[in-house]
Amino acid sequence: MKVTEIATKKDLMAEFQAERQKLAQLLAGLSEDQMVQPGVCEGWSVKDILAHVTVWEQMVLGWYRAGRRGENPKTPADDLKWSETPILNQRIYEQYRDTPLAEIRAQYETTHQAMIETVQTMSEEELFTPKFYAWTNTTLLFRYVWSSTGAHFNWARTEIRKWIKAQSAS
């Protein structure tokens, strides 16, 4: 299913869980040494990619919770525009690059569970109504959820698979 075909919360959850499962299957075949080896993507390791995905889920959860409180958080960061996400991604990398793999994996699991539980409480109206929350502007909330989950899991899997293929070829 393409993101443009996602029309219900059930669709959204099924699709991001399917992407998550595909990534989990790929990760299951990697050793801890492989997961911390740099060079997968932009010099990042698999661990760094997991940290990146985790932080983006955390940010979307934070924006959503702020919106529920009637706040209008600045996205993607207080001092950055969407066109500057590479700067934000670099900051995430620098903040978490020395964090142990076990800690990143624990945060990855805990954060995703929080995302599942939070999305389950969202209404169809919240997810699919333009400007339901001020912070979403013209982007539907479900697209923020999808971008931080399914789309990111797919991106991570693609980058890791390319790296594995390159490792096998050398």
Domains detected in the chain: 3-21+37-169 (1.20.120.450)
Determine the average pLDDT of the residues in 79-94.
Answer: 97
Please count the other Cβ atoms lying within 10 Å of the Cβ belonging to residue 167. 12
Predicted confidence (pLDDT) at residue 169 exceeds the cutoff of 90: no
Query: With bands split at pLDDT 50, 70 and 90, how would you rate the model's confidence at 92?
Result: very high
Both structure tokens of 124 = 């169809």
Q: How many helices (H) and strands (E) does the chain have?
A: 8, 0
Give the residue carrying structure tokens 């529920």: 68
Residue 7: CA atoms inside 13 Å, Cβ hemisphere, count? Answer: 1
Angle between helix 46-68 and 150-169 (nearest 10): 170
Determine the average pLDDT of the residues in 54-82.
Answer: 98
Mean pLDDT, rounded, of the chain: 96
Query: With bands split at pLDDT 50, 70 and 90, how would you rate the model's confidence at 76?
Result: very high
Query: With bands split at pLDDT 50, 70 and 90, how would you rate the model's confidence at 133?
Result: very high
Both structure tokens of 18 = 């399917």
